[in-house]
Structure formats: C-alpha cells, structure tokens
Amino acid sequence: MKYISTRGHNHLYSFEEAVLRGLAMDGGLLVPQSLPDFSNQLDYWTDLSYQQLAFEIMFPFVENCLSGVELKHIIEQSYAVFDTPEITPLTAFDGGYILELYHGPTFAFKDIALQFLGNLFDHFLGKSTQPELNIVGATSGDTGSAAIYAVKGKENVRIFMLHPKGKISPVQALQMTTVLEPNVYNIAIEGDFDDCQSLVKALFNDEPFRKNTYLGAVNSINWARILAQVVYYFYAGLQHLKSLPDKPLFFSVPTGNFGDAFAGYLAKKMGLPIQQLIVATNENAIVARVIQDGRYSPTKAVATLSPAMDIQVSSNFERLLFYVLNQDGEAVLFLMNQLQRKGCFELNRNCLENIQKDFCAYQISNEETLEQIQQLKQQGIEIDPHTAVGVVAAIKAKLGKTLCLATAHPAKFKEAFVSATGVAPEPIAVLEVLKSKESRCATAPVDVETLKQYMELKINETNSRKGLL
Ligand SMILES: *Cc1c(COP(=O)(O)O)cnc(C)c1O
C-alpha cells in the first residue's frame, strides 16, 4: 500500500515515510492510495480479540514495511499497557452504549493511537538509516502526556513537549512533568496554546533545522494515528451487530481536530455498516457548522468545559474533503488556498450533500454538558465533559441506540464533574499520587531562537554522552 497527498501532488509515500514525515511534501495530508473492503469478512471477525482485529484491519495498510510477525508484535506491545483485556469496553445506558476509550496509561483516548505510533517510531528507527528522531509538539492537555508515555525511555527518540505555562490543568501538567526519563523534555512556554503551536510551526518551517535535528511530529495529522482509531469502530460495531443484528449502527463522536470522526468515516468506507456518524462539538463549532451549511470559517477559539476540543482549525477535515470531492486533489488544494487567502471556504451543494449522507452535527453548550454529566450520574454512570458533549448530541439526534465515544476518564476533569454533580468522580490512584512525585520542567519565553538553542544543547549533550559509552 502506498500513500498520496490530499492536495494532488503525485508523489507516492511508503507507510514508513507516512509515519515518519507526518505531512506530505506539498503541505497536504497523507491518505492511502486505495481502501480495502472488509464487508465480506465481518462475519468471521465477531469473536476476535481487540489485538487480533487490529491486526486484520491494519495489515493491508503496512504491507511492504512491516511483516505480519512485526505488526503483531507492535500491536501486542501497544495494548499490553491497557488496564482491561477488552481494551475498549462498552457500558450500556438508556440511550445506547458508552464506548470507553480511556483505559490506557494517561486515561484519554489518545493513548490508543499514540502507544501504537511510539512503537512504530521505535521499530522504524531501529532499521532505517535515520539515526534518531526528535519529536516536538504543543499540547493543551491530553496529547502531551499520551505522547510522552508513548516514547519515554525509548532509544533514539527524544520528545520536546511545549505547554502554555499555568494554562493547563494541574493534573495534566503533573502527568507530563513527573516523567523523569532522560529523553523527555517538558517546556512551559510563557504564553498561550497558540504561542506554543506557532513555535512548533516555526521549527518545522525551518528546513535546515528540521533536517539536521531529525524533527518528528505526533499530532493528529499522522496517518498511523487515524489507522489505529479505525480499529475500535469495528470492535464496538461488531459487538453491536452481534447483539442487535437488525438495529442500525450509529456512533456519536466528540470532535476537535476531526481525527476520531474521520476514523469512523473510514471504517464505514471499509465496510462497517454505520448508518450515521454524529459529530458533536462544544461552542467551538467550526466542524458542526460546515456539516450543517457548508461554510467553513474558523473564528477565535473560546474556553469551554471540554478543553481538548477548543480548536479553531480542524486539520483532519481536509482528509474528508478529499473523499467527498471524489479524491480530486486539485479541488482540495483550491479550497485550502481559499482558506489561506480569505480565511474561509464554502462547499458546493453536491459536496455538502455527500457529507450529509454520512454525518449529522450538533453544537453543545457548557450547560447541556453539565446537565448530561449529572443525568448519567443518576444512572450510576460517570462521564467526563468531552464524552458528555457526544452523549447530548446522540440524544438530540434521536436516531436510536447510539455508541457514544468516551474520550477521557472523568477523574481527569474532576472540576467539571464536581460542578455538575456536587461530588468527586471515582478517583484514579495513580493520578492521586502524582502530587507527591518529583517533577522536572524547563520554562522558556515565546522565542524560536531560545527554543532552538535549548533543543540543540540537549541533543548534543545526550549524543556526546552516548558517544562516550
Ligand atoms: C483530543 C480529544 C478529543 C478530540 O479528538 P479529535 O480527534 O481531535 O477530534 C476529544 N476528547 C478528548 C478527551 C481528547 O483528548
């Protein structure tokens, strides 16, 4: 399987290149040249374990870069760190099921993809001519800790994670800064999340620096992350079809960067009979609006109770455009250029109707979010504010029993839970002890040169130490 850019440039990339590069050379996102059709296999897959199913789904995408044995090993390794053998269990509630995606080491769904990605990095670096990988990322919370846990202690990989100083939750900060492995560098930036992101962008746009330091990315545009997320749609969908074979399949997805929702769309394209995907946003509703009326116009992000979805530009939406525009890269490029020049674009009617065949969308307020947390608590079910956004949307859509993706453990967003219910969520023991642990974090101003110098210093320091051994 080869990969191509969503923007029409006709270069072919291998799976390994797609994993290590992140973006295509023309600035587009990478998508597979074709998609397998699994519809005839579904009957045989019902009783597979999560890991076995992951293998069946992923193998066609990694052929030529990983052997079957290698892929199996990477999958086993990635999901051995989850705290339940089902990996992504389902819990029933009045409106359907809660699909719990937070059983990984940092208690948010990002672990499912980032554990896999971290092990892929490790594998490819062990074999390729590239000696090392220096990951740089900006985080407003969950991505940072999931990425750090995915690569901590790995040889030939360092991670430099930027977060806005004092602007992420105390638990989220501690989850990152108490990781003391020598290849982990946390940097608190004296600015906001946008400042962190523009610093990261500036590093990637500095071609000599990027090449010399073997810069790598872990953000949700990485194809391997999407691929790993397709698996749980099949896993949960097959369970639903087994227990309720004549009931249509609906998923509700709390959405920020559109990675998770896009993975659901791919699952459908590959033969999982999903009737409709419900896209749920908070007040930052760029994606909900474009699905409703075809106008994509980012504004300034506002802070909500579901901060991992406080996003202005939904990068992965470009991948959906590629498919609904019949894989016409030039048409995607045209829209992306408009976005750059005018700050918005508008979809034509045909394209919008195409999207609405598979998606409906809802924008959910903070009040509705709190109300929903409270209501499910009365049924004995605890959910976090991101999950609540998806549950509200599912109820509003009135389609029938819906699989609602639960993207974070409620204990990660304790404050919101307490203000909704008056009581604390079930605590997580390993989060409770973080406060008493040693932590390490550098502080830096919003300045690219300072950041570059710091990174070069740390890279040289550890490389020369390695040379001495
Ligand atoms: C990242 C995140 C989301 C949004 O996922 P996207 O793939 O960016 O749409 C939702 N909930 C939580 C808890 C997250 O960490």
Count of structural domains, the chain: 1
Label the pairing between strands 359-363 and 133-138: unpaired
Mean pLDDT calculated for residue range 425-454 = 95
Ligand 1 centroid vs 48 CA: distance in angstroms?
A: 27
Which residue in this structure is represented by tokens 């896009």? 262
CATH assignment at residue 94: 3.40.50.1100
Domain residues for 418?
A: 90-104+225-428
Ligand 1 centroid vs 109 CA: distance in angstroms?
A: 7
- Show the ligand 1 pocket: residues with CB < 6 angstroms: 108, 110, 142, 220, 254-261, 308-309, 386, 407-408
19 contacts: CB under 8 Å, gap ≥ 6: 117, 120, 121, 124, 222, 223, 224
Beta pairing partners, 160: 136, 185
Q: What is the pLDDT of residue 241?
A: 94
* Amino acid type, 206: D
Domain-located, residue 178: no
Domain-located, residue 97: yes
Q: Which of 284-293, 295-304, 393-402, 447-456 has the lowest mean pLDDT?
A: 295-304
Ligand 1 atom with the smallest distance to the CA of 141 is 15
* Cα–Cα distance, 208 to 337 (Å, whole number): 26
Q: CB-based burial of residue 336 (10 Å sphere; 0-12 exposed, 13-18 middle, 19+ buried)? A: middle
Q: What is the pLDDT of residue 20?
A: 87
DSSP state of 411: G
- The first and second tokens of residue 97, run together, are 């099921």
Which residue in this structure is represented by tokens 């453990």? 409
Domain-located, residue 441: no
Ligand 1 centroid vs 406 CA: distance in angstroms?
A: 10
pLDDT band at 217 (very low <50, low <70, confident <90, very high): confident
Q: What is the pLDDT of residue 468?
A: 57
Q: Is the CB of residue 329 less than 8 Å from the CB of residue 8?
A: yes
C-alpha pair distances (Å), 252 with each of 5, 273, 389, 400: 28, 15, 9, 11
CA neighbor of 381 nearest in space, from 354, 415, 417, 431: 417
C-alpha pair distances (Å), 135 with each of 39, 183, 202: 37, 10, 14
Domain-located, residue 403: yes
Domain-located, residue 140: no
Residue count of the chain: 469
149 contacts: CB under 8 Å, gap ≥ 6: 104, 105, 106, 111, 114, 115, 179
Domain-located, residue 293: yes
Question: Does residue 167 register a pLDDT over 90?
Answer: no
Beta pairing partners, 308: none
Mean pLDDT calculated for residue range 251-279 = 97
Q: Which of 84-88, 378-382, 461-465 has the lowest mean pLDDT?
A: 461-465
Domain-located, residue 315: yes
Secondary element (H or E) of residue 181: none
Using most ligand atoms within 8 A of CB, pick from 102, 109, 232, 405 the residue to mutate for ligand 1. Answer: 109
Domain-located, residue 420: yes
Phi/psi of residue 347, nearest 5 degrees: -85, 145
- The first and second tokens of residue 461, run together, are 């320091």
- The first and second tokens of residue 454, run together, are 């710091």
Q: What is the pLDDT of residue 141?
A: 75
pTM for the model stands at: 0.95
Mean pLDDT calculated for residue range 236-258 = 94
C-alpha pair distances (Å), 277 with each of 163, 221, 234, 274, 322: 32, 20, 14, 7, 18
DSSP string for residues in 292-312: HHSEE--------S-GGG--S
pLDDT band at 295 (very low <50, low <70, confident <90, very high): very high
Residues tagged active-site: 110
- The first and second tokens of residue 296, run together, are 């994509």
Question: Does residue 210 register a pLDDT over 60?
Answer: yes
